[in-house]
């Protein structure tokens, strides 16, 4: 499974989300490739799950990936609450 984390420039927010997601994956015993990208790079790549700020919603419409939108990017609980159910769906399939 590939999880993309997105932000405007591809390093600040997306790197922080990558680290948070890697913690969550470890906690739930799942493995995945987590890649931090900017929006432009993502459009040419494949991912199973995309985690991004809510303001990127309109740019992600039409993607085949499961999109997880986060309001408060430093809130690990919000990220966990929204991401784990999506990850569990992938674990089952």
pLDDT per position as a tens digit, 27-55: 999 999 999 998 888 888 899 999 999 99
Q: In whole angstroms, what is the distance from residue 43 CA to residue 78 CA?
A: 25
Contact 18, 35 (CB under 8 A): yes
Chain segment 9-31, per-residue pLDDT in tens: 657 889 999 999 999 999 999 99
Q: For residue 49, tell me if it sits in a domain.
A: yes
CA-CA-CA-CA torsion for 57, 62, 63, 69, nearest 10 degrees?
Answer: 20
- The count of domains in the chain is 1
Nearest C-alpha neighbor of 82 from the set 67, 93, 92: 67
Q: For residue 41, tell me if it sits in a domain.
A: yes
Q: For residue 93, tell me if it sits in a domain.
A: no
Global pTM reads 0.92
Give the CATH number, domain containing residue 20. 3.40.50.2300
């Amino acid at each position: 499974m590939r999880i993309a984390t997105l932000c405007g420039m591809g390093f600040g927010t997306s790197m922080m989300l990558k680290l948070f997601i890697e913690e969550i994956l470890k906690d739930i015993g799942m493995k995945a490739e987590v890649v931090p990208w900017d929006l432009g790079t993502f459009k040419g790549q494949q991912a199973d799950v995309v985690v991004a700020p809510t303001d990127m919603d309109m740019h992600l419409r039409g993607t085949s990936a499961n999109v997880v939108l986060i309001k408060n990017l430093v809130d690990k609980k919000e990220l966990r609450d929204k991401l784990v159910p999506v990850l569990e769906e992938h674990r089952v399939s």
